């Protein structure tokens, strides 16, 4: 039994490019309505316009996940526009990579506040609406949430924390009929950390691949919950 996604509403943080944009594109193709947020309202508007010209299907929001107030307002805007919220995709993230002796306190705080506390804010702002819809929370973590690496102190800490947070709230929320999963991608062809995707990234996971995974999770028989999903390129980089 597949869940019908048509008419359901997803809020995707960090949805103006990369993985978030890829997820929005696939969910729209499945008949869902999507709200995408970015720290830049203009970037969100441009992304929304490139996804569809139908304002009944997409909503662009400027929101900073590091602010609880900002995320609360974003979720209220989603409800005011679409009337419901069925899916939260907590995708917004940043990366600062440096040895522990040189990474700054500001870089540490930005990484933790966005990648971990930011997800807390998005989830807290959405819980009551997701209880009403018996909805789904999907966090976009990373293989860096289980594999540590040199120069990764801040990023590893944020993603290890996010994986643990997601698994804990999965247990907190399933009694309300809310499903919670974390997707942990390896190398993805995105603009992350100022990278510009190109032909050399063809071997990597593509954003739309993550979008398809999200759609598959949402369409899975409701008795089954894949709560922690690692995904990596099928072949090593060239």
- Chain segment 79-129, per-residue pLDDT in tens: 999 999 999 999 999 999 999 999 999 999 999 999 999 999 999 999 999
Q: Between 207-219 and 18-29, two packed helices, what is the crossing angle to 10 degrees? A: 50
Q: Which domains does the chain have, with CATH numbers?
A: 9-231 (3.40.50.720)
The residue assigned the tokens 């990023």 is 155
Helix (H, G, I), strand (E, B) or coil at 175: helix
Asked if 11 and 89 touch (Cβ cutoff 8 Å), the reply is yes
Q: What is this structure's pTM?
A: 0.94
Distance CA 210, CA 114 (A): 20
Which tens digits make up the pLDDT trace of 160-170? 999 999 999 99
Mean pLDDT on 1-5:
77
Question: Residues with catalytic annotation?
Answer: 155, 159
* DSSP symbols for 6-30: TT-EEEETT-SSHHHHHHHHHHHHT
- DSSP state string for 129-150: HHHHHT-EEEEE--GGGT---T
Share of the chain above pLDDT 70, in %: 96
pLDDT at 189: 76
């Amino acid at each position: 039994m597949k869940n019908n996604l048509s008419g359901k509403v997803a809020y995707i943080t960090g949805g103006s490019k990369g993985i978030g944009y890829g997820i929005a594109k696939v969910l729209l193709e499945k008949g869902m309505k999507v709200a995408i947020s970015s720290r830049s309202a203009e970037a969100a508007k441009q992304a929304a316009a490139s996804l569809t010209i139908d304002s009944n299907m997409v909503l662009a929001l400027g929101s900073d996940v590091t602010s609880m107030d900002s995320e609360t307002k974003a979720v209220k805007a989603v409800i005011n526009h679409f009337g419901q919220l069925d899916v939260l995709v907590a995708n917004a993230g940043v990366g600062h990579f440096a040895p522990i002796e040189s990474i700054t306190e500001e870089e540490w705080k930005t990484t933790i506040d966005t990648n971990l506390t930011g997800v807390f804010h998005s989830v807290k702002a959405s819980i009551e609406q997701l209880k009403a819809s018996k909805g789904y929370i999907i966090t976009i973590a990373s293989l860096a949430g289980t594999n540590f690496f040199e120069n990764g102190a801040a990023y590893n800490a944020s993603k290890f924390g996010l994986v643990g947070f997601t698994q804990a709230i999965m247990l907190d929320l399933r009694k309300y009929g809310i499903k919670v999963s974390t997707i942990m991608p390896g190398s993805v062809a995105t603009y992350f950390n100022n990278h510009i995707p190109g032909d050399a990234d063809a071997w990597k996971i593509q954003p739309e691949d993550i979008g398809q995974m999200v759609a598959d999770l949402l369409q899975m028989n409701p008795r089954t919950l894949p709560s922690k999903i690692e995904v990596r390129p099928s072949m090593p980089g060239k």
